[in-house]
Structure 1
Amino acid sequence: MDFRKTYDQIPEKFDQWRPRYCDELFAAVIEYTKLEDGKAALEIGPGTGQATEPFLKTGCEYWAIELGENFTKFMKDKFSSYPRFHIMNGDFETYDFGDQKFDLVYSAATIQWIPEKIGFPKVYDLLKSGGALAMFMTLSDEKSGNEILYEKIEEAYRRYFRVETKYNCKLDYGNAVNYGFVDFHYLDWKRTRILTADEYVEYLVSTQVEHITLQEPYRSRFLNAVRDAVLDAGGRIMIHDTIALYLTRKP
């Protein structure tokens, strides 16, 4: 199964439940790249644009390449009022950008879907000399704030979580330096979310690819078990998020 278009089936729900990034992250990327009017940025797989507007507001020429047709339409409806907004519906791995070059190429939890032997060299070629690659994502910890509840949720996974295809997209972001990138460094920011039982279930089935594709009868059994576990624990689950940012540049 190709998971890459999973979220495109539910653009509104994905947009509602996907955690947002913090202002500090956007400020760090913009400062690192000195992004402004006269410069160009490319976003890989923007989805519903949760990491788009801060860059548009710099006045840069913004481009995006988006695989999902529904996401592409969502983005056009959302940002078409910006005169320097451009989006292509296509596959980054095979799309021909011609002579286009960018001061910034960035990914908000998307580049890990691309094999590094394809992704890193292609980004390198698309960047101007001195241009930057920014990769960021939200890493969620549901264990440390909920030890007993976490074990009950794990039991629900053991009993009912039966998916046809496992999500196995892994990327060592530090490997960018093996493809010519320099000045690699990492920043992060912490935050905490508290969700109700129903909110947590909606979050799972709107933002996690395996949960979206989980079929009956396992789907209902699993979700009911998770909901009941959270309700039994007081009706709330605490999630500790790490908003992680990797920055590097082309010499």
Structure 2
Amino acid sequence: MDLRFTFNEDVLNYDKMRPTYVKELYENIIQFSNLDSNKNALEIGIGTGQATLPFLNTGCNLTAVELGEDMAKFSKEKFAKFHNFDVINSDFESANLKKDDYDLIYSATAFHWIPQEVGYTKIFNLLKSGGVMALFWNHVSRTDAELDFAMQEVYNKYKSTNESSIHKFSEEKCLEIAETIKKYGFVDVGYKLYYQTRFFDAPKYMSLLNTNSDHRARPEETRILIENELSNVINNFGGKIEIKDTIDLYLARKP
């Protein structure tokens, strides 16, 4: 099963529950790329547009590439008032895009689905000289150690061969990604970290869980069992769960 298509199965829940990103992240990218109404930008894997509006508000000409047909339609309607916006329903690898045309190419928690030798090379070719690549990911952790342990016991009970393709966060991994980016010819490479905290009750956390490709790939009867047991665990710990988002941003420039 191609896990990329699971995001297309429940667009409204995805749009409601997936996290947005902190204001400072957008400000850093826009400042680094000098993005304005005279520039062209490309978003890889728009989903339902959690990371799109701040860039559209600069007035830039923004094209988005989205594999999921329903998500592409949703995002096109969501930002229909912007005449500087268009969506291409395609995977990034085969999308027909103009070389040396973009001032900014960015991707929000989506670039890990693309083989790096294909993704980095294509981005480099699509960027103008001096153009900027911005890649960022959101990593979720539960702040209550006892609650986290109890929830992990549920997951261990229903072990699956499906594993997330997103990299696990660590400072060492950040350095590794930055070094990899340099190998593809980019300069001015660096990374920054951002943090935010969110709170959920059991039903809302289950809605969030259902935006996770690994969870959606499980058989329905298994998903129901997991969700029931996780809900019981959360309710036994007071009915609330606090999660911490760690967001790693990588900025780089084409010479």
Q: What is the TM-score when the length of structure 1 is the normalising length? A: 0.94
* Cross-structure match for 2:170: none
Deviation at 1:167, TM superposition (A): 2.9
Q: Distance in 1 between matches of 2:28 and 2:141?
A: 23
Conserved in 1, the CA contact under 8 Å of 2:113 and 2:165? Answer: no
Alignment of 1:85-164 (within 5 A): 85-99=85-99, 101-142=101-142, 145-162=143-160
Identical amino acids, percent of aligned pairs: 38
After superposition, the C-alpha distances for 1:69-91 in whole angstroms (9 at most, x for unaligned) are: 10111011111211111111111
1:169 deviates by 4.5
TM alignment of 1:1-251, pairs within 5 A: 1-99=1-99, 101-142=101-142, 145-162=143-160, 165-170=162-167, 173-174=177-178, 175-206=180-211, 208-251=212-255
Equivalent AA in structure 1 for residue 95 of structure 2: Y
Structure 1: which amino acid aligns with 2:33?
A: T
CA contact (8 A) 1:161 1:218 kept: no
> CA shift at 1:20, angstroms?
1.0
What's the CA shift for 1:209?
Answer: 0.6
More moved, 97-106 vs 181-190: 97-106
Structure 1 residue 99 displacement after superposition:
4.3
- Distance (Å, rounded) in 2 between the aligned partners of 1:30 and 1:136: 14
Q: Tell me the TM-score normalised to structure 2 length.
A: 0.92
3-state SS of 2:47 partner: coil
> Alignment length, in residue pairs?
247
1:209-247 superposed Cα distances (whole Å, 9 cap, x missing partner): 111122143222211111111111111111111122111
Say which SS state the counterpart of residue 217 (structure 1) adopts. helix
Q: CA deviation at 1:197?
A: 1.4
Shift of 1:190: 1.4
Assess if the C-alpha contact under 8 Å between 1:194 and 1:237 holds in 2.
yes
Structure 1 residue 198: Cα displacement: 1.5
Maintained 8 Å contact 2:43/2:106: yes
Q: Which digits, 9 at most, give the CA deviation of each residue in 1:3-44, with x for residues without a partner?
A: 111101111110110011111111110000000011100000
| Unmatched tracts of structure 1, length 5 or more | none
Mapped partners of 2:99, 2:181: distance in 1: 23
Counterpart amino acid of 1:108?
A: A
Structure 1 counterpart of 2:146, which letter? I
Q: Is the 8 A contact 2:99 2:127 kept in 1?
A: no
- Deviations along 1:41-97, whole A, 9 cap, x unmatched? 000010101111111111111111111110111011111211111111111101221
| Alignment partners' CA distance in 2, 1:189 and 1:195 | 20
Check 1:216–1:98 CA distance in 2 against 1; reply closer, same or farther (3 A cut): closer
Aligned-pair Cα RMSD in Å: 1.5
Q: 1:160: Cα distance to partner? A: 2.3
> Compared with structure 1, are the counterparts of its residues 216 and 11 closer, same or farther at alpha carbon in structure 2 (3 Å cutoff)?
closer
Name the CA distance, whole Å, in 2 between partners of 1:97 and 1:86.
Answer: 13
Whole-angstrom distance in 1 between the partners of 2:45 and 2:84:
18
| Distance of aligned partners of 1:45 and 1:124 in 2 relative to their CA distance in 1, 3 Å threshold | same
Contact 2:130 2:254 in 1 (8 A): yes
Mapped to 1, the partners of 2:98 and 2:160 lie a distance apart of 43
2:93 alignment partner, SS class: coil
AA paired with 1:80? A
